[in-house]
Amino acid sequence: MKRFLTPSDLGDINKALKEAAEIKNNPNAFQHLGKNKTAVLIFFNSSLRTRLSTQKAALNLGMNVIVLDINKESWKLETEFGVVMDGDKPEHIREAVPVIGQYCDIIGVRSFAKFENKEDDYSEKLLNQFIEYSGRPVISMESATRHPLQAFADLITIEEHKKVERPKVVLTWAPHPRALPQAVPNSFVEWMKVANVELTVTHPQGYELAPEFMDGVKVEYDQLKAFEGADFIYAKNWASFKDYGKVLTTDRSWTVDERKMAVTNNAKFMHCLPVRRNMIVTDGVLDSPNSIVVEEAANRVVSAQTVLKRMLEAL
Amino acid sequence: MKRFLTPSDLGDINKALKEAAEIKNNPNAFQHLGKNKTAVLIFFNSSLRTRLSTQKAALNLGMNVIVLDINKESWKLETEFGVVMDGDKPEHIREAVPVIGQYCDIIGVRSFAKFENKEDDYSEKLLNQFIEYSGRPVISMESATRHPLQAFADLITIEEHKKVERPKVVLTWAPHPRALPQAVPNSFVEWMKVANVELTVTHPQGYELAPEFMDGVKVEYDQLKAFEGADFIYAKNWASFKDYGKVLTTDRSWTVDERKMAVTNNAKFMHCLPVRRNMIVTDGVLDSPNSIVVEEAANRVVSAQTVLKRMLEAL
Amino acid sequence: MKRFLTPSDLGDINKALKEAAEIKNNPNAFQHLGKNKTAVLIFFNSSLRTRLSTQKAALNLGMNVIVLDINKESWKLETEFGVVMDGDKPEHIREAVPVIGQYCDIIGVRSFAKFENKEDDYSEKLLNQFIEYSGRPVISMESATRHPLQAFADLITIEEHKKVERPKVVLTWAPHPRALPQAVPNSFVEWMKVANVELTVTHPQGYELAPEFMDGVKVEYDQLKAFEGADFIYAKNWASFKDYGKVLTTDRSWTVDERKMAVTNNAKFMHCLPVRRNMIVTDGVLDSPNSIVVEEAANRVVSAQTVLKRMLEAL
C-alpha cells in the first residue's frame, strides 16, 4: 500500500471495515509492526483531530512519530518548477520531499486546497509530489480534494450506528462565513458510493461538487425534502466548485436545526469538526443525544491505525 | 484522582511528599504504569519549565506524550455559549475538549488568567470545561488562579532544604513591568497553609491576594520586617486582585537584594522562574549560593511525576 | 565527550568514520545506550533536516526526544548580563540553560549567527553559555560559526563516493538574495582540513572566510579554474566576513551550471540544503545523476547518531 487517498487504496471495503473493528477492539495488538519504524507527519495547515488521532494511531502501533509544522518550524517551500529562487521561499519541494523520505518509513501530509487555481488543487499537485518523490508510502491527512481518513472514520461510525442494512445518508451543505475546501464532502461522497448506503446530497444552487465525484449521486436542492426519512445527517460547508473557491451565500436557512431533524428517521447528526455552532448546526441539535460527532472524531484513530497498519505490513 | 488543582487533590500531604521523595530517588521504577498510556499536554500559553518537566515526568513513567500548542497548531477556540460562531474562532471548546479526551488517558492544560473578567478567571471557567467534558483526569499546568505543580515542587524543595522543623517562609511581592496572574502566589499560599511552615506574606498596599486564599495568613506590609529571621524568601510579582489585573506600582525598592537578605536567617532564595533580574531580584542574590531556583525547577519533574503516577494508578 | 563543535571533539577522524559506517549499517544496534535517556533539542531558528535527522538519530538510539522551538513556545531570552530586565525578554539565559539541563541528558542547540556583532558571533557566546551552564553534553546543531553535524555528514558522503584516495574537493561561493552565516563553509573547511582530500576554496573578492579557518587552505578567485579536475563541487552562499554580514554581490555568473561542471572530473555536486535553484545551482546540475544532495542529507542521521552515541557512552 503505497498511498492512501481514495477508498480503492484500501481494496475490499468490507474487509477494511472488519479490520478496523478488530483494531478498535484491541488497539495495542500490533505493536511489533511499528517497532523501529518512524512516521513523519507534515502539516502545512492547522489541525486538532488529525494531528492528535494520527499520532495516537502510530503510537498504538509502536511507531516513533515526528510532527513537523513545516511553514512555522522549517522553510517555506517553493512548488513551481524552473523558477529563479530569489524570493521568500528558500527551499524547493523537489529537495524537501525526498529528504523527508530519508528520515522516515511513512509520511502523512496535510495541505489544504489553496483556491488559487482549480487545476493545481484538483490535480493534487502537492500530494503527488510527495507520492512521486519521497520514496515512502504517503497518507493524505487532508489534501486539496480529499480527506480520506475522515471519510473512512465516517463510514466506520455509520457502520456502528446503523439500524437498517442500507441506511439513508444525507450530506447537507450548511452556511459558514469563510470559503472552505471541498475535500471533506468529496471524500464523503466517494466513500459512501462504495458503502452499502443510500446517499442524497443537498445544497443550494451553485454548490454542486466536482462532476468526477458526483457521477450517479442523487442531488436534492430542497433541504427539508432531502432530510425526510434520513438515518444520518452529515453537515458540512464547502465553497463553490463552479465559481471556484467562492462563498455564494451564507444563508442561515440552511443551518441544521431541530425542525429539520424532526422529519428524519430519528437521524444521527454527524460533522467532521471543527463545527461553527449556530451557523452549521444549532446548539440544540449538536448537544442532543443524536449527535455523534465526538464518537466520529474518536474513530479517526481507528481509520488512521488501519491505514498505518496496512502500510507497515507492506513495507 | 480525577483532577489536580489544589493540595487537597493529593490527600495527606506528608504521604505525598514521601511518595515524591521515592520517585525522585528512582524515577524509572514505575514505567509499567504508563505503558500504552498517552498524556496530551495542551498549551494556551508559553512555557519552558512546565513543558519540559511534565513531558519528562510522563516519559519517566513510560507514557506516550503529545504536546499541543493549541492556538498556533490547531484552531482558535470559542468559549462563550449560545453564540453564532461567525467570527474568527472556528471551533467551540464544547467539541474540542471531549474530542481531545478521546485521544488520550490524561490531559494537562495550561491557560493563564486573561484579566478580562475576574469572575471568569476565578471560577476557573476554562479548566472546569476540561474537567467536566473531557472524560479524563485533568492536571492544571497553571490555570487562571493556581499553579499547583509549581507549588508542590516548591514544597518538595523546602522540605529538602529546611534546617528547622517549622521554617519561616516569606512570600514577597516584587516589581515587574507587566501585569502577571496571581496563580503562583495563590497556590504557594494554599500549599504552605497545609505544610508545616510559618508563612508571612509581604507586599505593597493594594496587592492583597484574594480573600479565599488568605484566610488566617499573616500579612506584613513592611518588607524588611517580614524578612527578619526568614528561612526561605519566595519572590514573585503579581497584579492587583482588588483593582483586578492592574499594575499599581513598579517600585524597585521592593526588589529583593543583598541588604534585605542580610536580615534573614541565612535564607534560601526561591522563585518559580522565569525571573526578571534586577527587577524581582538582584544579580547578586540570584547568583549567590543561597539561590535554589534551579533545584526548585528540577523538582517540577518530581511534582508532575507524583501527580501523573497517582492518576495512572487510579485509571 | 562533553561538546560537539569541531572535528577535534571526535578525536581520530578515521575511527569516527568507521564508527559512522557501522552505525549506518545497523542503526538500531545501540538502543540499550539510550534507554531512559532524554535529548532536548533547542531551536532558536528554523530547521528541516537538522530537526528531523537529529530526532531520528536519537530515536534510533532508543532515546526520548523533546523538541523545543524556544522563541515560539517558550520565553524570549535575555543574553546580556547586568541589565535591568524591564523589556520584552522575561527570562535570562543564565536561568534557562541550567534549568533545561535538569530535564535531559544531552542538549542540542541551533542558534544562527545574528550578524549584529562579529565578536559575539565568533566567540560562540550563546553556545558557550549552554556548554558552561547546562551541566550536560552539548551538540551544536548549527551555531554562530559552525555546523559540525553537516560537515561530518559531508565528510561521510565524500568517503562513500570518492573514487580516488585523495579527491579534489572544491568549496564554491554562489549567489543568494540574503545574508547567510558562514557556519557551513567554516565547518566544511575545518573538516576537510583533517580529511584526506585536496581542498580548494573559490569565491569573489571580499568573501574571504575568517582567517582562523583558512590557515593553509588554497583560495582560487577564478571559479572555472578552481573547478578543473574537481571530484566534488560543494556550493554554498555566505555573507562577507570582512564587511561583516553584508551581501557584496548577487552576481549569477557564480551560479554553478552545466558548463562549469563540464571542466570537473565528472564531479559530484553537493550542497547542505536548503538550496535556491537557479541562484546557487541550475536545475540541470541539481537534477543530474551527479547531484548527491539527498544522500548527503540522509547522512545527517548518521553523523548525529555517531555523536549522540559517543555522548551516551561517556555519560
pLDDT tens sequence across A99-110: 999 999 999 999
Distance, in Å, from the CA atom of B95 to the CA atom of B251, rounded to the nearest integer, reads 45
Confidence at residue B75, expressed as pLDDT on a 0 to 100 scale = 87
Domain with residue A35: its CATH number is 3.40.50.1370
Partner-chain contact A100 C43, CB within 8 Å: no
Run of H or E including C106: strand C106-110
pLDDT tens sequence across C209-222: 999 999 999 999 99
Query: From residue B302, how far is each of A305, B27, B154, C97 by CA, in Å?
Result: 34, 8, 11, 19
Query: Considering its fold, how many domains does chain C have in total?
Result: 2
Q: Tell whether C71 and C114 lie within a shared domain.
A: yes
pLDDT value at A129 more than 90: yes
pLDDT tens sequence across A261-277: 999 999 999 999 999 99
Nearest to B64 by CA among C103, C66, A302: C66
pLDDT value at A247 more than 90: yes
Q: Tell whether A201 and A243 lie within a shared domain.
A: yes
User: Residue B132 is placed in which grid cell?
Assistant: 467536566
Q: Tell whether B77 and B177 lie within a shared domain.
A: no
Do the beta carbons of residue A48 and residue A295 sit within 8 Å? no
Low-confidence ranges of chain B (pLDDT < 70): none
Q: Tell whether A164 and A271 lie within a shared domain.
A: yes
pLDDT tens sequence across C122-138: 999 999 999 999 999 99
pLDDT value at C201 more than 90: yes
Residues 6+ apart with CB under 8 A from A272: A49, A147, A150, A154, A184, A236, A296
pLDDT tens sequence across A156-166: 999 999 999 99
Confidence at residue B126, expressed as pLDDT on a 0 to 100 scale = 94
Q: Tell whether A138 and A177 lie within a shared domain.
A: no
User: Residue C213 is placed in which grid cell?
Assistant: 579557518
Confidence at residue C75, expressed as pLDDT on a 0 to 100 scale = 87
pLDDT tens sequence across A76-87: 899 999 999 999
* Percentage of residues of chain C with pLDDT beyond 70: 100
Q: Tell whether C40 and C123 lie within a shared domain.
A: yes
Chain B residues within an 8 Å CB radius of A287:
94
Q: Tell whether C21 and C108 lie within a shared domain.
A: yes
Mutate one of A55, A269, A280 to test the B interface: name it (highest B CB count within 10 A).
A55
Q: Is C25 exposed, middle or buried (0-12, 13-18, 19+ CB in 10 A)?
A: exposed
Residues 6+ apart with CB under 8 A from C20: C152, C156, C302, C303, C306
Partner-chain contact C47 A103, CB within 8 Å: no
Range of the domain at A187: 150-296
pLDDT tens sequence across C270-314: 999 999 999 999 999 999 999 999 999 999 999 999 999 999 999
Q: Tell whether A136 and A199 lie within a shared domain.
A: no
pLDDT value at C204 more than 90: yes
Confidence at residue B72, expressed as pLDDT on a 0 to 100 scale = 82
- Identify the band that residue C64 occupies on the pLDDT scale cut at 50, 70 and 90: very high
Q: Tell whether A179 and A191 lie within a shared domain.
A: yes
Average pLDDT over residues C141-168: 98
pLDDT tens sequence across B243-298: 999 999 999 999 999 999 999 999 999 999 999 999 999 999 999 999 999 999 99
Q: Tell whether C281 and C309 lie within a shared domain.
A: no
Do the beta carbons of residue C110 and residue C141 sit within 8 Å? yes
pLDDT value at A73 more than 90: no
Confidence at residue B120, expressed as pLDDT on a 0 to 100 scale = 93
* Percentage of residues of chain A with pLDDT beyond 90: 97
Average pLDDT over residues C82-103: 96
Average pLDDT, chain B: 97
Do the beta carbons of residue B16 and residue B150 sit within 8 Å? no
Confidence at residue B74, expressed as pLDDT on a 0 to 100 scale = 86
Query: From residue B61, how far is each of B38, B300, B313, C262 by CA, in Å?
Result: 11, 15, 11, 59
Q: Tell whether B176 and B291 lie within a shared domain.
A: yes
Average pLDDT, chain C: 97
Confidence at residue B260, expressed as pLDDT on a 0 to 100 scale = 98
- Identify the band that residue A1 occupies on the pLDDT scale cut at 50, 70 and 90: confident
A102: nearest CB among C275, C283, C298: C298
Q: The complex's ipTM?
A: 0.95
pLDDT value at A75 more than 90: no
Partner-chain contact A49 B99, CB within 8 Å: yes
- Composition of chain B by helix, strand, coil, percent to 5: 40, 15, 45
Sequence letter at residue C305: Q
Confidence at residue B256, expressed as pLDDT on a 0 to 100 scale = 98
Q: Tell whether B139 and B241 lie within a shared domain.
A: no
Interface residues of C toward B, Cβ cutoff 8 Å, are 36, 38, 40, 64, 66, 68, 70, 72-75, 78, 81-87, 90-92, 94-96, 98-100, 102-104
pLDDT value at C74 more than 90: no
Confidence at residue B164, expressed as pLDDT on a 0 to 100 scale = 98
Interface residues of A toward C, Cβ cutoff 8 Å, are 36, 38, 40, 64, 66, 68, 70, 72-75, 78, 81-87, 90-92, 94-96, 98-100, 102-104
First vs last Cα of chain B: how many Å apart?
Answer: 8
